Amino acid sequence: MISKPRGTMDIMPEETPLWRFIENTVRETASKYGYEEIRTPTFESTELFARGVGDSTDVVQKEMYTFEDREHRSFTLRPEGTASVVRALIENGRCSDAMPLRLYYLISCFRYEKPQAGRSREFFQFGTEMFGSADPSADATVISLANEIIGSLGIKDAVLHINSIGCPECRPGYRKALVDYFTDYSGELCDSCRERLKTNPLRILDCKSPVCSEIAKKAPKMIDYLCGECKDHFESLTEYLSSMGIRYEIDPYIVRGLDYYTRTVFEFISGSIGAQSTVCGGGRYDGLMKELGGPDLPGIGFAMGLTRLILAMKASGAELPASAAPAVYFCTMGKEAVKYALSKVAVLREKGIYADCDIVGRSVKSQMKYADKIKARYAVVIGDNELQAGKAVLKDMIQGSSKEVELKELWKEFV
């Protein structure tokens, strides 16, 4: 028996209607906001993520699926979508298109993490990216898109957390304050955080070790170190969110796990789906395009994990779509009846009706049982007598009642 790799999933047919419902909802909502779909490769040059996501992040240091191809080039299965979208825009010469440029994607991503509820090694993301506006009204619009999607999916308990992590102007001052603070505790920090103290002290705020997170609770807050422009940006964002009726909590310790962020960062957190509670994470990344060799174009976006959305929908008691069931199932006796049923089913399918008939050669009793099992709305039993009389018995499978109908009028019952 060969099993699937740890941390991957099989999505079985009874679950795919829910996945499709989510995919349709995110696509339709993103379209209303002017977003168009982009598709990029599943693997990219390793350097794209090392430079884009950041060398000192956990994603790059510990979680990437990196391999050499036969020509000894290093590639990586994408751990996220933003860096690829930025690369694609630069490579396809789209950075001078009409702005703002708005793109969305539905992709699988790969991270070598410890699997648990809401966290897998191959996972599915819906992501959006907007380029060409540094204005806080763009941040508010992007957040309102995420908020609308979460609401449309019937998720009730997701709380929006926002923060600003400043810009290259003000972050060095904050970095220094963090280093000063954490140096006093360097004996207590975990090995990774002692390293982070030198390479990327902001990452300590994200550490999951209980000791480090306890120390981090009293660390200086970026919000107190923002430069004038970053402060104005953040204040305008909060005003816009309030005017749009979007509730938020300012959470000074959100730093996000990827290095490209500047100014606004945000997460929607669901209180009822366990430790992996961030259903959506995103923020502004005004320096990424330039970092990857493109023009100095600001960007902002977010991504949602589809499995976490599903967990949150279920926890909220959202109405979940069911598998499609046939409108009618023909139970047949004899070859003439099979011929009739095959042709009738074809006509009904042409009219857009989900119809089916026995193609296994079962007894009528087993056919009725099967019709019940697949939740057919109606069953029609047809044998030689019925064909000769031009009539058949139509059984309502929900109410259990039956009635006689003219065969030539039968289709009207299902439209």
Binding site for ligand HAM (CB under 6 A): 80-82, 111, 113, 118-120, 123, 125, 127, 129, 257-258, 278-283, 285, 301-305, 307-308
CA distance 166 to 180: 19
Cβ closest to ligand HAM, residue 128 vs residue 332: 128
Cβ closest to ligand HAM, residue 80 vs residue 356: 80
Dihedral angle, C-alpha 235, 85, 79, 321, nearest 10 °: 80
In angstroms, give the least distance from the CB of 80 to ligand HAM.
3
CA distance 174 to 222: 6
Phi, psi of 11, deg, nearest 5: -100, 105
In angstroms, give the least distance from the CB of 239 to ligand HAM.
22
In angstroms, give the least distance from the CB of 401 to ligand HAM.
48
Cβ closest to ligand HAM, residue 105 vs residue 378: 105
Q: What is each CA distance from 9 to 108, 119, 346, 401, in whole angstroms?
A: 11, 11, 35, 42
Cβ closest to ligand HAM, residue 51 vs residue 308: 308
Residue 219 CA to chain centroid, in angstroms? 32
In angstroms, give the least distance from the CB of 104 to ligand HAM.
10
Q: Give the torsion sign (CA, 39, 43, 45, 51).
A: positive
Report the run of H or E that residue 24 belongs to, with start and end: helix 16-32
In angstroms, give the least distance from the CB of 383 to ligand HAM.
54
In angstroms, give the least distance from the CB of 117 to ligand HAM.
10
Cβ closest to ligand HAM, residue 279 vs residue 381: 279
In angstroms, give the least distance from the CB of 263 to ligand HAM.
12
182 in Cβ contact with 193 (< 8 Å): yes
147 in Cβ contact with 209 (< 8 Å): no
Tokens of 149: 């999607």
Report the run of H or E that residue 123 belongs to, with start and end: strand 122-131
Cβ closest to ligand HAM, residue 125 vs residue 367: 125
Cβ closest to ligand HAM, residue 278 vs residue 332: 278
Beta-ladder partners of 159: 269
Beta-ladder partners of 405: 392
In angstroms, give the least distance from the CB of 371 to ligand HAM.
39
Cβ closest to ligand HAM, residue 119 vs residue 375: 119
Residue 347, SS3 per DSSP: helix
351 in Cβ contact with 300 (< 8 Å): no
Residue 158, SS3 per DSSP: strand
